[in-house]
Amino acid sequence: MTGARGGRLPTAIDEAMQKINASVHIDSMLWREDIQGSVAHTAGLLRAGVITADEAKGIVAGLSQVASEIDSGKFVWDAAKEDVHMNIEARLVEIAGAVGGKLHTGRSRNDQIATDLRLWIRSKLDAIVAILDKFALVLLERSESEIDTLMPSYTHLQRAQPSRLSHHLMAWQEMLWRDRGRLVDARRRANESPLGSGAVAGSSFPLDREAVAKDLGFDSPMRNSLDATASRDFLMESASALAILAIHLSRIGEEIVLWCSQEFGYMVLSDSFSTSSSMMPQKKNPDVAELVRGRSALCIGSLTSLLILEKGLCLGYGRDLQEDKRPILDAVESVSVSLLALTGALATAEFRREKLQAALEGGHICATDLAEYLVVNGVPFREAHHLVGGLVRQAERLNCTLRDLPRDILEAAHPALIAAEAIDVLDPTKSVERRQIFGGPAKVRVLESISNAKVRWSGSG
């Protein structure tokens, strides 16, 4: 942010230039972090002997007053002062006098904004992880309460094999667990301090960057002053993690939309998370899920914007980076509100168990079980697959289920199919319980999965 007016450019700038130059309308969101960083920098200047204890005290007191004015809404942001940094510094000088002008010693707006953004994204990622934890808890609670609710699993949106609702909800949870890991990783890599890097080449003042980093809760100072001020990969990584999370939320939203349709009828959202039509009085729309799907587009766009923003920049700082704030703000806000909305929607939704159970009766959903039964009776799987596929065609021609096929048709296909246990394998309830492999939908495995997930999520903080 080396574009500040000063002795080199004393003439007033053009109105159009002022509009494109000013960023305070968006970066004022960073005022807390800016003041936090300034307080730490003041302590660093005092340790380095650049300012006296009385001067440091006056600066910190002035910054405290500025913070109080902003927090109470009394502060007037001035676009002519370009950004959050100059607005705060100008007010500090008004309050503390000339000593306020010493605050900027040994730093640039380049390392200042990079520090602000790292402090900001660190706190936002922490907040999103906390919301995500609550959403996961709801999924675990619903998985436990619906442990005996069976449903079809799907591939290609076609009924595939018998499963249970809890297994499906736990699949959502597994995606979110990986999302949590990505957010935590992004937070860890963002937790380095650029402060003291100056505009590009550090400072000649003996600033203790390690101490300043510690004061701000960073793990360490960044190792290279050029990299510290020129790179926004920490925002790209955060936006990437948020975009992947948003896509997972969108997929959950899509399933909610389908399940709430009359064609599926698997669930009903509470009125608190639904809307009606302005024209059709019978409608109850799952708008919460649709809006979450829509918000994912903003997150993908935010990531794309940040990637392209830095794509063509040489090192070090370029003013293009001023445009890094709106995309990450949109991504953070979109994911936060989506998580909160889905948490409430899933906590209060009703699953229609009878509809889920009834769906197991269509689509020849135990065909794989019948093929596996033939394998147990010595038939190679590929042959068994072909044989059962032929039986499915005959059942569809006769408009019946595999279980209801005439005895002579089953016997003609293979003698083992007329045994009682052959018909038994076509029971969806028993089919689910046979799938006790690790990660499968059998009740004992899903309960085990829920128990393990509770330990993971509760110990992840």
- pLDDT tens for residues 316-356? 999 989 999 999 999 999 999 999 999 999 999 999 999 99
pLDDT at position 420 is 83
Q: Of the candidates 300, 327, 358, which is a domain's last residue? A: 358
pLDDT at position 279 is 81
User: Could you tell me if residue 4 is inside a domain?
Assistant: no
Residues 334 and 218 in one domain: yes
Q: How far apart are CA 447 and CA 453, in angstroms?
A: 10
Task: Please tell me the total count of domains within the chain.
Answer: 3
Q: How far apart are CA 254 and CA 436, in angstroms?
A: 29
Residues 352 and 312 in one domain: yes
Q: Of the candidates 358, 393, 413, which is a domain's last residue? A: 358
Q: CATH number for the domain including 433?
A: 1.10.40.30
User: Could you tell me if residue 155 is inside a domain?
Assistant: no
Q: Of the candidates 310, 343, 358, which is a domain's last residue? A: 358
Q: How far apart are CA 349 and CA 324, in angstroms?
A: 38
Residues 204 and 272 in one domain: yes
333: alpha, beta or left? (left if phi > 0; alpha if psi -120 to 50): alpha
Q: How far apart are CA 4 and CA 400, in angstroms?
A: 79
pLDDT at position 423 is 87
pLDDT at position 459 is 85
User: Could you tell me if residue 7 is inside a domain?
Assistant: no
Residues 87 and 213 in one domain: no
Residues 238 and 329 in one domain: yes
pLDDT beneath 50, residues of the chain = 2
Residues 354 and 417 in one domain: no
Q: How far apart are CA 106 and CA 450, in angstroms?
A: 54
Q: CATH number for the domain including 33?
A: 1.10.275.10
Pick the closest to residue 157 from 359, 394, 372, 446 (CA basis).
359
Task: Using only the alpha carbons of the chain, give its radius of gyration.
Answer: 30
Pick the catalytic residue: 72, 156, 204, 272?
156
Q: CATH number for the domain including 223?
A: 1.20.200.10
Residues 203 and 244 in one domain: yes
pLDDT digits (tens, 9 = 90+) for 417-453: 888 888 899 999 999 999 999 999 999 999 999 999 9
Q: What is the mean pLDDT of the chain?
A: 94
Token code pair at residue 161: 């094999």
pLDDT at position 17 is 61
User: Could you tell me if residue 345 is inside a domain?
Assistant: yes
Residues 383 and 449 in one domain: yes
pLDDT at position 440 is 97
Residues 269 and 235 in one domain: yes
User: Could you tell me if residue 154 is inside a domain?
Assistant: no
Residue 156 annotated as catalytic? yes
User: Could you tell me if residue 234 is inside a domain?
Assistant: yes
Residues 82 and 120 in one domain: no
| CB neighbourhood size of 296 (10 A) | 24
Supply the angle between the helices 325-348 and 109-145 in degrees, to the nearest 10: 10
Pick the catalytic residue: 145, 277, 451, 458?
277
User: Could you tell me if residue 15 is inside a domain?
Assistant: no
Residues 445 and 297 in one domain: no
User: Could you tell me if residue 209 is inside a domain?
Assistant: yes
Residue 296 annotated as catalytic? no
Boundaries of domain holding 64: 20-105
pLDDT digits (tens, 9 = 90+) for 261-296: 999 999 999 988 887 777 887 778 889 999 999 999
Residues 261 and 128 in one domain: yes
